[in-house]
Structure 1
Amino acid sequence: MRDTFVRTLLEEAEINSKIELVTGDLGFGVLKPYWEALPDQFTNAGIAEQNMTTLAAGMALEGKIVFTYSIGNFPTLRCLEQIRNDCAYHNANVKIVCVGGGFVYGSLGMSHQATEDIAILRSLPNVTVVCPGDLVEAKEATKAIANMPGTCYLRLGRGGEKRIHKYIKDFEIGKAVLIRTNKHETSPKIAVFSTGAILDDATEACNELEKKGINLMQYSFHTVKPIDKDTIRKCTLECDYIVTIEEHNIIGGFGSAVSEVMSEVDGKAKIIRMGINDEYCIRVGDQKYLREQYGISKGAIMRRIGDL
């Protein structure tokens, strides 16, 4: 996802001189093609994320489209006050990019893990929250936020994510992507929703469950705010269960956003939220290992849906 983002941003910046990329002293290996091609549209703000964000807000208020870039919690929680006061309050054209959502930097410990970011950023007025699930979604999301006004949060994986979609027709911020629909009428009818790079495990789990005859619909929610209320309402009325999957705390995150919409619909679906169960990660290991430890791996998804 990281490489896809940089390639796409470079393409957009080459045709729009207003686009600026500001890094918090990170990502030099992957950002090199950008700064070599467009040195006048690139700034290294140093390890000073609060300053980076205020700088970006000032540039945006002078007419620029500014992308700030760092890993894990650094471009979000470390500079939350600046995002709130300098960017969101003024509806400034700043795009906050986190590389390493969830457990990507698991080997570096919880200080480098982004597991509360969706909940916190979506609570800020004027902030669009985008969490692409694969390379195709990452490309389309980068193009979309580069060409829309206002403050946005783009939550990416790191590298090595699988390509799930061949292409997405008519990609739209705030519109979920249908991956599969039920092929038979057995009961119960289950809709599987996911956001972010956990899409790979969710899709592999759904592939296996479908082979076992379990009735599934699957959607990728690349946008958490504004969320696709129409799809949620439809599934709430038609399905027996909605299972939400996120590499994030279940408190305030994607599952909570879905629950908020469901609570206003007189439907029959029950929601099952899969994510980190309101705890900090105290284990150390790679992303795959931590997904297994905290119950959001392919196997855990299969077991939870199978139990329904």
Structure 2
Amino acid sequence: FPERTFNAGIAEQNAMGVASGMAATGMKVFVHSFGCFAARRMFDQAFLAAGYSELPVHVIGSDPGVTAAFNGATHMPFEDCALYMTIPNAVVIDSCDYVQTKALTEQLARCEKPSYMRLIRKDCIQVYGDGSQFEIGKGVTLRDGGDVTIIASGILVDEALKAAELLESAQKINARVLDIHTWKPLDEALILKAASETGCIVTAENHQVSCGLGSAVANLLSQKCPIPLERIGIQDRFGQVGPQPFLMEQYNLTAKDIAAAAVKTMSRRL
């Protein structure tokens, strides 16, 4: 749809202002940039022009976290979702593959709230079969299990599944795996069900743990189901340059790290 596409140039803040103006006339608008610019650079405009005005502007941030790879620290957002989660009534999504991205993008086109979705720009592992269906605000149980729950999103969904396989093959631990693609609104019912049935949880995210999926789950559990929780993610660090597999190791985001966290949280369970 070239007639519906506008290049705002290297002017992300202006792009957000233009998008909000278009949305105010009744249009459904998508704005795309690298996650670092889509979050940090144009957040004031997103908060006020789209958020405060309650306009359906849907921001797409690509190359989130370690997927920025060789672009390095300046282009490696570990806090993008956290910023958008502070906008009242906004929707925040971390998609894991192209199947999920396509399905949720189609839903966002019908969503009347402002939103932010981070997605992988480079090649990624396909987790879901073509045609799989998803619902904004509803997580997916990818693997059932009764010993521990692993909650993941984005690129760490595949790592979580691998971690579950490691746990089963090496230690006979049966892990449940949840894909919580929507961080806001959080699927509290699914998480609380898993918490009550397994008694301990690990969260895994390509994002700062202090202000992302892990913190959202921690807030929920502290109020409604206090159980042991371990959080895999970025631990108060900046980004760095390197290939994605190297960065996954550097930031302890691998299946091995998730599996170790699962064993640790199980040891804390009463």
Q: Say whether the 8 Å CA contact 1:89–1:126 is kept in structure 2.
A: no
Alignment of 1:124-139 (within 5 A): 124-139=87-102
- SS of residue paired to 2:210: coil
- SS of residue paired to 2:261: helix
| C-alpha distance after superposition, 1:243-298 (max 9, x if no partner) | 0000111111100111111112145x3111111111213x3201211110011112
How many matched pairs?
264
What is the rounded CA distance, in whole Å, between the counterparts of 1:155 and 1:266 in structure 2?
A: 29
Residue 169 of structure 1 and its aligned partner are, at CA, apart by 5.7
Match of 1:141 in 2: 104
Residue 163 of structure 1 and its aligned partner are, at CA, apart by 1.1
Tell me whether 1:248 sits opposite 2:193 in the alignment.
no
Unpaired segments of 5 or more residues in structure 2? Answer: none
Match of 1:12 in 2: none
Runs of 4+ in 1 over 3 A off after TM superposition: 167-170
Match of 2:255 in 1: 298
What is the rounded CA distance, in whole Å, between the counterparts of 1:228 and 1:257 in structure 2?
A: 11
Alignment of 1:1-308 (within 5 A): 38-166=1-129, 170-182=133-145, 189-212=147-170, 213-267=172-226, 269-281=227-239, 283-307=240-264, 308=266
Q: Say whether the 8 Å CA contact 1:134–1:199 is kept in structure 2.
A: no
Q: Which amino acid aligns with 2:202?
A: V
Residue 299 of structure 1 and its aligned partner are, at CA, apart by 2.2
What is the rounded CA distance, in whole Å, between the counterparts of 1:132 and 1:232 in structure 2?
A: 18
Unpaired segments of 5 or more residues in structure 1? Answer: 1-37
What is the rounded CA distance, in whole Å, between the counterparts of 2:34 and 2:132 in structure 1?
A: 30
Q: Which amino acid aligns with 1:303?
A: A
In 2 relative to 1, CA 125–219 (structure 1 residues): closer, same or farther, beyond 3 Å?
A: same
- SS of residue paired to 1:201: helix
What is the rounded CA distance, in whole Å, between the counterparts of 1:197 and 1:91 in structure 2?
A: 30
- SS of residue paired to 1:103: helix
**What's the TM-score, normalizing by structure 1?**
0.82
**What's the TM-score, normalizing by structure 2?**
0.93
| C-alpha distance after superposition, 1:168-227 (max 9, x if no partner) | 765211000010102xx6xxx200000112212222222222223112100001100000
What is the rounded CA distance, in whole Å, between the counterparts of 2:110 and 2:169 in structure 1?
A: 41
Match of 1:18 in 2: none
